[in-house]
Structure 1
Amino acid sequence: MADIFPKQLVGVIDGTAVPPRRADGREIGAHKRSALLSKVVGAAWNIGDTVRLGKKPQGQKITSITVTPDTTLGTSTLSVGTAADPTKYANAKTVTATDVPTAIGPKAATLDLDPGAEEDLIMTIGVAAIVAGTRLTIKVEYCGV
């Protein structure tokens, strides 16, 4: 059987580079940070509304986006991205579970990108509004140096 190494460890521990390279600290042994954001109870989020989720720090990757509502969001969809690419991290995800964190992102392709520059993150509401009385939290997790 073959020994297989993830791309982040090729040349680091597989013996293909002499001397071995150092692992990229943005991915191996990275620090985890998160933002926990809450919907204001009493304010509805309507179709097409853009919710500002803060900034993805430079040199960080988004590793998890979870949503925890106190009631089903029904057919409402949530997309997470940037103004230039509103579905970069999550595209039209529905959340029907209640009182349980539900992963809506990130897309697998974004986990393999270079951590890159700082980005302003947005969440766009689609298909149906989220009613005013809904309690909802969004957690965005990042890793990097």
Structure 2
Amino acid sequence: MSSLQCSCDLVADHLSRLAQYFPDLNGTDLKLARNPFKLNVADIDSDMQEELIDLLNDSGAYDRFEDCVLSKFWCSLITSYPKLSEVALKVLLIFPSSYKCEQEFSSLLYMKSKYRSRLNVDEDLSVSLSVTELKIKQITDAKQAQSSH
């Protein structure tokens, strides 16, 4: 078996595993989450069509859509349009969670290279992924480098 075939098999295996994390995603769900006002009613499941028709005729919802970020917009519609909101929020929740995972993996690869393969990176990884601003300059300025004789 060639190395190219092994690589192709490996990629195919990873893609099939990735499907577990995004089971029911389709193009219509993505379009709904991104902009429900550009969606054709006939394109979505029949059990959500009535909600979409009501949403398309709701001028207050359209104003909120124009003024809010997508996650806040859909959260504000949970009680009025529960089926549509559930689908849209499922789609929107995927991306922040996968982004954080990718960021952590990149940080780990950077820290644990072939030259530092035995390095224990637990604490370093937590510091690099922390959202707390480091105040190293403040700490070092407060300390005297060497004591006087």
Q: With the length of structure 1 as denominator, give the TM-score of the two structures.
A: 0.23
Larger radius of gyration: 2
Greater strand share, structure number: 1
Relative contact order higher in (CA < 8 Å, ≥ 6 apart): 1
